[in-house]
Structures are given as C-alpha cells and as structure tokens.
Amino acid sequence: MAYFDAASAAPLHPVARQALLASLDDGWADPARLYREGRKARMLLDAAREAAAEAVGCRADEMVFTPSGTRAVHTGVAGALAGRRRTGRHLIVSAVEHSSVLHSAEVFEAAGGTVDRVAVGRGGAVDAAGYSAALRADTALAVLQSANHEVGTVQPVAEVAGICRAAGVPLLVDAAQSLGWGPVEGDWSLLTASAHKWGGPSGVGLLVVRKGVRFAAQGPVDERESGRAAGFENIPAIVAAVASLRAVRAGADQEAVRLRELTARIRTRVPELVPDVEVVGDARRRLPGIVTFSCLYVDGEALLHELDRAGFSVSSGSSCTSSTLTPSHVLRAMGVLSEGNVRVSLPMGVAEADVERFLDVLPGAVASVREKLGAPAPATRVRAAELVVDSLGKRCPIPVIELAKVIGEVPVGGTVRVLSDDEAARLDIPAWCEMRGQEYLGEEPAERGTAYLVRRLG
C-alpha cells in the first residue's frame, strides 16, 4: 500500500519511535516535582523545549507544548484576541485557513467580534495588499497559514508580517504544513504547529507567543506550560515530536529537491494521461510534496475508493463525499473545479516507483468511475436558441456531465440553462466553462433551485 496522504498525517518517523521508547523510562514522572524522577522528567522536557525553540527560531520561554495543533490554534487565537481586547474586536483571516482557524473565527464572531476573510487568487495565495486593506484601528489580530494544507500553495507570510508589524497588529502563523521543511520567515508574533505533520506522534502541538505580545489565556489555567496549556505534559510524546522535527530538518533540503521533481512529474503527466483534468494550486510557490488536481465528470469519493483498491491512500477536497455535499472551502475560495478532486501528498522517503505506479493506475481508475457513473439522459426542452437541462435532484458531477453532453446541440452563441439544486454546481459549472472554453453568464433564481447560464463559444 502506497501512503500518499502525508499532509493529513505523516508516518511516524523512525527517530520519533526510538525517542518515544527511550523516554518512556525517564519521562513518566511529574516534572514539577523535586525528587529524582521528577528532575529526570524536567530535564527531558526542558531539553525538548530548547531544541524545539531552536528549530522554530524563538526563545525557549516563548514556547509551550499543547495537546494538539488544533488546541494550539484555538488557544493562540483566543488568547491574543483577549489580550488585545482594549484595542478592538476585529480579526483578519484568509479565506483558505485550516478549519481550526475558521472555527475560532466563528466563535469570536458569535461572541460579538467582527471578522474579515481575505480572498485568494486562483492559485490559492493571498495578496499581501488584501491584509493591508483589511487592517483597521480596532484590529486585534491577523492570522495567516504558512502554506495551504489542501493545495500546497505557500503564502507571503514575511510580507504580511511586515505590514502587520508596521500597523502594530500581531500576526499568528499556522505553520503546521511547513515547519518540517524549515523555519517560518518574517517578523511574526505567534506561531502554531502540529507534530503529526512532520512524523512525530499525534497529540503534540506547539504554540509560540513572542515576548511583548499581549496574551490572556482563556478558560481554566494551571501552573503548567506558562498557564497556556493546562494538564500533565506527555513528555515521551513531546520528546519524540522534537526528535523527529530535528531529524526531518536535517535532510529537508535534499529531500525537498527530490519531492519537487516527483510532484512536478505528477503535475505534468496527469493532464496528459487523463482527459478533462485541472491541476490546482500555485505552480511555483508551493510545498515540495503536495499536488492537487480535479477530474471532470467524476465522483470524488468513488475515485478515492477506486484508488484505495488499487493500493493508494490519497485524500480529497471534493464536494462529492459522504461527509459533505458542499465544496471544500479552499477550492471554493480559489474558484477552481471541485468535483473529482484528489490531493496527493508524498511523505518523505517515498519511492519513485510508487509514484510511477500511481501514474499507471490513475487513468484506469478515473475511466472506471466515469463509466460507472454514466450520464443519465438529460430532460431537455428547446426554447429558441436556448436549451434547458433539468438536473434538479441530481448530485455532482451529474449536472456538469449533462451540460457537457448537450452543449453541442445549441448553435454557437446559443445558451444552455442548467437547473440544479446542488450547491456544488455554483462552483463546478463556471470551472467547467473555464476549462472547456465556453462562456459562463452567471446564475438566476429558478422556481426550484438555481439556473446556471452558459453560452456556447465553440
């Protein structure tokens, strides 16, 4: 089985396994106690904090360990907003942040705060000017990921950090996807990360709060981790997390070159091997191991199952999954095709032969899903130079399949009106037009659902 979902969780690094086992004997006691066992545990915890701080590029007393990366985000956002509540109740985030950030923003908004969500371009990156325009006198905090978790696009953190610093606004950077590859550049104020993204054990997060940043931890606190992460520290897991971070960093530059070549191969060859595919995300400013593409006329969940049967573990931001019938918020914000979406995120050390085998298997998997889906004959009626496709009650990608089958039945300049009550059509029909060289005219209210208008150009 080839595991291609490292952006969700990287396989446990051998060094992490060794460090975890070695520290179980000495790291089990309470590090707050003064007896011998407590002192041993404290030494392990202090050494791990020093090493982690060196890797991040901060002071050891600016870093705390949390029970997860998500908890680090929630604690960091809430604490920074509370610490600067006299400044105001305004938060800035990007439209493609991890759900942990967006959930924090929703809680803040529900409590009476205001949130600006900065848009991204089609490649998935924010324009730093968007953060500059969003800044206000009452802005308490800005948040920006270092790199996107779904499409791999690297964000202009250093530039945004400079803008925020000049305005006196702290910037929290979610570095979960990038920290294994190197420290985050720029004059940021807070940083979060998660160990299972770089091959450490799950259940360990990092939260860095620079000196001088106003911060008020929310909820019950205790004396541990500077009052910012309550509860007994999982010292063996922390030691293993930091050991794996140092290990992957040692070979990161060399491995990045190799993974960039492999992902570039996927980006180039997938559109050659599979018709009607859109490769998404910035082609240059991107993480080494992530490549994402979307396939027209394909159910994303069915494609993932087909690839799983062929021996490949991949993930998807597709709108067509059992857990959600709406497009991924990242793909929606980018305005790209969401149906049949596949994210390939290669772990460090992946075999080149596995990538080649994936490229051999993918065309057949896509073709199989398309064949199984079929394309139900659309119910149509001709109205002058306009064709109406009734796709009400049909889920993606059926509305797009029906549009594709009938576009040739109207003259050049004629229109097709697609009736759909599937939210994904709002994203997928314009994306199809972009890929197929047709003109998307917009949407109109219909008696049921929404009418999407497409003009045939050729």
Catalytic residues: 320
For residues 32 and 41, give the distance between their C-alpha atoms in angstroms, rounded to a whole number.
Answer: 9
Cβ contact 19:48 at 8 Å: no
Q: How far apart are CA 8 and CA 14, in angstroms?
A: 18
| Number of helices (H), then strands (E), in the chain | 13, 17
CB 389 within 8 A of CB 402: yes
Task: Record the tokens describing residue 125, joined without a space.
Answer: 């990156």
Task: Give me the torsion for CA of 300, 304, 309, 314, rounded to 10°.
Answer: 160
How far is 281 from 342, CA to CA, in rounded Å?
A: 12
The pairs formed by 410-413 with CB atoms below 8 angstroms and a separation of 24 or more are: 410/385, 410/386, 410/456, 411/385, 411/456, 412/456, 412/457, 412/458, 413/385, 413/455, 413/456
HSE of 224 in the Cβ direction (CA atoms, 13 Å)? 17
**Among 160, 248, 238, which Cα is nearest to 206's?**
238
Q: Before 397, cis peptide (omega within 30)?
A: yes
CB atoms within 10 A of CB 408: 9
Helix 235-250 × helix 252-273 angle, to 10° = 80
Supply the DSSP symbol for 131.
H
CA distance 219 to 102: 20
Helix (H, G, I), strand (E, B) or coil at 418: strand
Q: Confirm if 335 and 427 have CB atoms less than 8 A apart.
A: yes
Nearest to 74 by CA among 115, 104, 114: 104
Do residues 306 and 286 lie in contact, with contact meaning Cβ atoms separated by under 8 Å? no
Please list, in sequence order, all residues whose beta carbon lies within 8 angstroms of the beta carbon of residue 18, skipping any fewer than 6 positions away: 243
